[in-house]
Structure 1
Amino acid sequence: MDDDLGNPERKKRRRLRRIAVIAATGLATAGVLTLAVDRSGSHIDAAPVAKVSDTPSASASPASPDAALTRALNAVTAEGDYQVAALDLDSGDSASYAHGDSGTYDTASIVKVDILATLLLQAQDSGTALTPAQRTLATSMIENSDNDATNTLWGEIGGASGLDAANKTLGLTDTVGGTDGDWGLTQTTAEDQITLLEAVYGDDSPLSADSQTYVQGLMGNVEADQQWGVSAAADSGSSVGLKNGWLQRSATDLWDINSVGEVTVGGDSVLIAVTSSGSSTESAGIGLVETVAEAAGDAVVA
């Protein structure tokens, strides 16, 4: 398995900001254009939307988060497949979207959060605390995405069977631990990753408050060159907790790029998970994930 190789080259990120769209079901209309622009104001894309007049009717209701996310992402071109899910912990609003035929995705290194959650649950069940050695390994695994540390902790939790058992407690229903030691080939969905993030950041969790605080602290301190992905959706200057995964598949040379985490959007605490496969380059996959994450954050907070 060829996971987390080197530091991705950063191209200037195209962060989408979508101007408000006007939607009213069943209204006869004339077409207008809404523009997607980057942060500097340059034109990126345009999509026709319906309108009755320059001033929307007071009775017209705003689009649901799912509808808003679908509208935004239908205009995005992707080389491969992806899923995204988002949950506003303050309002309870959520949205999800899937592009392509893939039902589940390789986790690559986002599974490291799941491995740590499993280790903590096992310690809780046995009434023990993590050893100093385990804490050192966990720090390297999350903050630096160190694979050797992950190999050790994967063995300590009992590999795929240990992960799968913990995921039943955590509420993950579509995640299956990678076999033959390939933890990076664990299969998951964006929705399951939101469930995992709820266990880390939510109020009602199988993890103890101390365990949640511990995981949050590590996810909030990943090394600087790995602070991409869902962070694109965050309010400027706000704190971010995340874990990314990147894996070039040897059979196709195409990239799996994933990002999960907690960000502040419009002042709200928002969980976002993006899983993807089939990008031709690492940087293209990162760009796609960031575009999708920002759209998801906007959709649940708008």
Structure 2
Amino acid sequence: MPSPRARRRAHPSVRRPLFHVALAALVLVGGTSTGTVYMRAQAHDGGSAAVSSSASSSVPPPASASTAPGADVVTEGDSVEPVAAPEVDHDELLSAALADVTAGAAADGATVSVAVMDVVSGDSAVYGDARFDTASIVKTNILAALLLQAQEADRPLTAEERTYASAMIRSSDNASATALWKAIGQADGLDAANVRFGLTGTEGGDGLYWGLTQTTAADQLALLQQVFGDDDTSELSAASRAYVQELMGRIAVDQDWGVSAAASGSSASAFALKNGWLPRTATGLWDINSVGRVTVDGQEYLVAVVSNGNTTKARGISLVEAAARAAVSLFADTEDSADATATTNAATNS
């Protein structure tokens, strides 16, 4: 990254035969709207004389200098206080990035909420704060709760639990999810684990209705941070995190949709996800959700998209995928712009 300090070499000394000046440093101090360039010459006797040149002068004004006459440019040995970067409202930018997506969803009567995080910078953004049915994305939460309980009991998962976990995450098997839902203590066990995980808007479903657990996009992003974070940010051990990541990275072929649409490349490491879909009996409309980690041009992002009111499963999937791509583009475009700015600044200050 280029240094925030802007430096520029002072003009070489010139001879002033009329004033018998042995050495004089010419310091460019800015230009006027008419193009006139003003300079101040400092002579050995302490005197100074203002001279001007035409707009066609071969001495260009430095990019780092003030344009107000009388202000010296920065020379070697001087320092400039770094200017603080302007505050960026990522939530507002995400809302703008999703404008077309949300407009299309509204036209269809659907609602969508999105949360995204740049893993390296830690910057994140959230669109919407409504609660949605989890459908099968709660299965990641169930497994995380099971692993946390096992850690507290200082025991590994049993062979049976591992069999259930694999089927529940990779193939979204409902019977396996019900077995592990019971194993963690159903909603009470899930809610207790979520207090540890920092999920504040998620509530386990009644009885055996784990798919009707209520959650927010922000909470799902917080859960992803538990799964894909590190020892400083996650309640899960490194071994527990690696286990969940491995299962989410080896989903069944027919589960490859949702946030994976935002990933670049076809390698197995390009994404790790869990999807959820649920047709509502009363309305015939669909809840379609997708959460996970995606890699775009070597950069990792955590993405959570939840939606309801979709007229068909296919339309819901299209909505979720469009939202995921728009969310990731928010940070990808910002980073491209930052890289371009850094390159320009480096060239200007060289």
Question: Which bin holds the TM-score, normalised by the shorter protein?
Answer: 0.7 to 0.9
Q: Please point out which of 122, 132, 137 is paired with 2:149.
A: 122
- Equivalent positions of 1:125-274 (< 5 A) are 125-203=152-230, 204-238=233-267, 239-274=270-305
User: Where in structure 2 are the equivalents of 1:56-71 lying within 5 Å?
Assistant: 64-71=89-96
Instruction: Indicate if the aligned counterparts of 1:120 and 1:211 stay in contact, CA closer than 8 A.
Output: yes
How many residue pairs get matched? 240
Report if aligned partners of 1:108, 1:258 keep a CA contact under 8 Å in 2.
yes
**Equivalent in the alignment of 1:4:** none
Structure 1 gap ranges (5+): 1-60
Give the C-alpha shift of residue 137 in structure 1. Answer: 0.5
Which whole-Å CA distance do the structure 1 matches of 2:87 and 2:329 have between them? Answer: 13
**Residue type of the alignment partner of 1:265:** V
Q: Note closer, same or farther for the CA distance 1:266–1:91 as it changes in structure 2 (3 Å cut).
A: farther
C-alpha contact (below 8 Å) 1:121/1:207 kept by paired residues: yes
Q: CA deviation at 1:301?
A: 2.7
1:199 maps to amino acid: Q
- Structure 1 counterpart of 2:313, from 282, 292, 296: 282
- Partner Cα distance (2:167, 2:238) in 1: 22
- Structure-1 separation of matches of 2:159 and 2:308: 36
AA aligned opposite 1:74: A
Q: Deviations over 1:210-237 (max 9, x none)?
A: 0000000000001011110000111123
Verify: 1:298 aligned to 2:329, yes or no.
Answer: yes
1:181 & 1:249 partners in 2: Cα distance? 17
Q: Does 1:110 align with 2:140?
A: no
Letter in 2 for 1:73: L
Contact 1:95 1:300 in 2 (8 A): no
1:112 deviation in Å?
0.1
Distance 1:281 1:197 in 2: 27
Secondary structure at 1:278's aligned position in 2? strand
TM-score by length of 2: 0.66
Letter in 2 for 1:263: V
Aligned residue for 1:75, secondary structure, equals: helix
Contact 1:84–1:273 (CA<8 Å) still a contact in 2? yes
Shift of the alpha carbon at 1:64?
4.8
Structure 1 position 72, deviation (Å): 2.4
Q: How many Å separate the matches in 2 of 1:221 and 1:195? A: 22
Equivalent pair of 1:95/1:299 in contact (CA under 8 Å): no
The two structures have a TM-score, normalised by structure 1, of: 0.77
Distance 2:201 2:89 in 1: 26
Question: How many angstroms apart in 1 are the aligned matches of 2:259 and 2:130?
Answer: 21
How far is 1:208 from its partner? 0.2
**Higher relative contact order, structure no. (Cα contacts within 8 Å, ≥ 6 residues apart):** 1
Quick one: distance in 1 between partners of 2:115 and 2:283?
A: 26
Whole-angstrom distance in 1 between the partners of 2:195 and 2:92? 31
Contact kept? 1:171, 1:195, Cα under 8 Å: yes
**1:62–1:301 distance in 2 versus 1, CA, 3 Å:** farther
Larger C-alpha radius of gyration, 1 or 2? 2
Distance 2:144 2:96 in 1: 35
- Structure 2: which 5+ runs fail to align? 1-85, 334-350
Amino-acid identity (%): 54
Q: 97, 105, 129: which one pairs with 2:127?
A: 97
